[in-house]
Amino acid sequence: MEKNGMKERIGIIICDRYRMCAGGKCLRSFRNREGAFSIYRGRDVELAGYATCGGCPGGNVEYAPEEMKKNEVQVVHFATGLIVGYPPCPHIMHFRDFVVARYEMKVVIGTHPIPQKYYNMHMNLKTWDSPEWSEFIQPTLTDEKTRASYD
């Protein structure tokens, strides 16, 4: 959806333990509208911000969305790495609630589809058995073939 004649803009916040990530899976899934980016199919959307959380407990989450908002970002995505890392980010719910309350921005948990190897491990570990985690992984769950293509 365009706002005031401008493209819809999104930002991505990644886990700091992956700070050296080149963003390939996120950018591929954004381009292909896969995983959590499937909500943008058929829409003109631009990536306008990319930052790390700043390391545990995520101090940059307090500031990065402010900069993104200045650049007209309307939606912040917390990268899939926050979901699939070992352990998954214990602060993700707090991050979401903070960004929504402080910056009045929409938050989506996830970017690229969960890679199959991470899906298998977390299913074995029962990491995502809680109602919260079941909700968090939904946008990035996809089908097994797509997950395998992100391994």
DSSP codes joined into one string, 52-82: E--STTTGGGGTHHHHHHHTT--EEEEPTHH
CB atoms within 10 A of CB 94: 13
H or E segment at 23? none
What domains are defined for the chain? 8-145 (3.40.50)
Structure tokens at 146: 């797509």
What's the whole-model pTM score? 0.93
pLDDT in tens, 33-90: 999 999 999 999 999 999 999 999 999 999 999 999 999 999 999 999 999 999 999 9
pLDDT in tens, 20-49: 999 999 999 999 999 999 999 999 999 999
